Amino acid sequence: MRSTIQQERARALFEKYGLTLEAHEWITSPSAATNVQRVEKPIRMRVHRTCHRCQTTFGPDRICVKCEHKRCKKCPRYPVKKIKDAAAAGKGKEAVGAVTTTEAAKKPKSRKPYLTIKSKTGGDLIYHPPKQRIHRTCHKCDTAFVPPTATECRNCKHIRCTKCPRDPPKLNKWPDGYPGDAGAETSEPEPRVLERTWKKPRQRVRWTCDQCSSLFR
């Protein structure tokens, strides 16, 4: 046995250094490892709550660490709590319709975002959704149209046309010009594009005088 071999080695080592090893001092390992059974626990869903005022995630406490708002029913929950389906219980189409009506009634109505920050100079700061700023530039004098919806250049009085660039461009939707643009003026000479022609390379031949080594012209 392996345990017996280990005991003999230990006794020989103790005798080498003049020590004694008693029988009760030897720690014996169990003959077979105990079978540890797995503890079955139900799967838990991690639920996160967010403050509806400052959009900060709640910690273990019910009070927001940023704005000190006490968690209420308006604070959103992730994941959203599911409503039990009445059709799974076998209550028929009427129960399904009742559940759908109940879900529609429980859904919060769309409302305008309310104010969360007070202005330092007095009054309240109004929240506006982000918008894409569009800039139009006159193609004649490179002057920006102010405001961007203006159709006449304030510098050269040019009417905004399809040649006036737009930033950011959106050529995939309006390839022939943007809404409200006038047609491009035909009187303006279009730049002439010269086509590149291929010619066969020539070998230049030169003659030199054999008497004075001058180049013939």
Q: Where are the alpha helices (DSSP H) in the chain?
A: 2-16, 93-106
pLDDT, tens digit (0-9, with 9 covering 90-100), for 133-185: 888 889 888 888 888 888 888 888 888 888 888 888 888 888 887 887 887 76
Residue 173 belongs to some domain of the structure: yes
| 138 falls within a domain | yes
Q: Establish if 12 belongs to a structural domain.
A: no
On whether residue 67 sits in a domain, the answer given is: yes
Structure tokens at 3: 């345990």
pTM beyond cutoff 0.85:
no
pLDDT tens figures, 67-104: 888 889 889 988 888 776 544 445 545 544 554 555 55
137: which DSSP letter?
B
Cis peptide before 168 (omega within 30 of 0): yes
- Spatial distance between the Cα atoms of 170 and 190, rounded to a whole number of angstroms: 23
| Within-domain flag for 176 | yes
120 token code pair? 């330092």
Whether 211 is in a domain gets the answer no
Residue 150 lies in a domain: yes
Same domain assignment for residues 99 and 146? no
Spatial contact of 55 and 40, defined as CB atoms under 8 Å apart: no
Residue 137 lies in a domain: yes
- Report the domain count for the chain: 2
* Structural domain boundaries, residue 61: 48-103
Question: Is 95 in the same domain as 137?
Answer: no
129 vs 4: CA distance, rounded Å: 80
